[in-house]
């Protein structure tokens, strides 16, 4: 798992953008996408590929302020990926779930491999999403959402990289 500099941006995002100009209409349409982002990206390139940069259990002390958005637990499953559209980095993604929520169907999250998370998350009925919060990392747009598959909490952070189609 090769480290990618974009991954470190994921923890420097400013959340809540009340004091910055809002996204334009076309960008807002991307940022508020309710379905699978992977599927949406697939409509704008020939092939979406994934590179896993970090995956595994981390102690609660390693996830900082995000803990307030998740159930309290000693450890969390963390997955950080770069999504490429035709070989160009389009998105940095970070997923967190409490280890205590990795039971039942959610256990499959630990063995996604290079399969995009969305293929699992959107496999059946549209999953419940609590909110979409927008953020910025310098000029780049980001969003985060809490999904509630079977009542569990899955925190997804997505940072749209400079080559992503929403900046076109």
By CB under 6 A, is residue 50 in contact with ligand VNL?
Answer: yes
By CB under 6 A, is residue 10 in contact with ligand VNL?
Answer: no
Measured in Å, how far apart are the chain's first and last C-alpha atoms? 30
By CB under 6 A, is residue 116 in contact with ligand VNL?
Answer: yes
CB of 10: closest distance to ligand VNL in angstroms?
A: 9
Measured distance CA(7)–CA(15) in Å, rounded = 17
Q: What are phi and psi of 83, to 5 degrees?
A: -100, 130
By CB under 6 A, is residue 158 in contact with ligand VNL?
Answer: yes
Measured distance CA(128)–CA(148) in Å, rounded = 5
Measured distance CA(65)–CA(77) in Å, rounded = 16
By CB under 6 A, is residue 97 in contact with ligand VNL?
Answer: no
User: How far does Cα 116 stand from its chain's mean position?
Assistant: 10
CB atoms within 10 A of CB 21: 7
Range in contact with ligand VNL (rule: CB under 6 A) among 19-27, 111-119, 124-132, 160-168: 111-119
Determine which residue in the list 10, 53, 82, 83 makes contact with ligand VNL, applying CB under 6 A.
Answer: 83
By CB under 6 A, is residue 38 in contact with ligand VNL?
Answer: yes
Q: Total binding residues for ligand VNL by CB under 6 A?
A: 15
Does residue 148 sit in helix, strand or coil? coil
**Which spans of this chain sit near ligand VNL (rule: CB under 6 A)?**
37-38, 50, 79, 81, 83, 91, 93-95, 116-118, 156, 158
């Amino acid at each position: 798992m090769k480290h990618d500099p974009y991954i470190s941006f994921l923890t420097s995002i400013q959340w809540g953008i009340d004091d910055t100009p809002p996204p334009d209409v076309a960008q807002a349409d991307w940022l508020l996408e309710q379905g699978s982002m992977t599927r949406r990206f697939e409509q704008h390139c020939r092939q979406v590929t994934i590179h896993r940069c970090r995956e595994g259990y981390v102690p609660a002390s390693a996830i900082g302020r995000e803990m307030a958005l998740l159930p309290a637990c000693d450890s969390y499953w963390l997955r950080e990926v770069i999504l490429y559209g035709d070989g160009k980095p389009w998105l940095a993604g970070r997923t967190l779930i409490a280890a205590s929520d990795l039971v039942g169907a959610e256990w499959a999250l630990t063995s996604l491999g290079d399969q995009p998370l969305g293929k699992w998350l959107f496999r059946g009925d549209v999953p419940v999403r609590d909110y979409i919060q927008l953020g910025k990392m310098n000029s780049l747009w980001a969003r985060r959402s809490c999904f509630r598959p079977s009542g569990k909490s899955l925190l997804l952070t997505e940072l749209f990289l400079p080559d992503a189609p929403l900046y076109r």
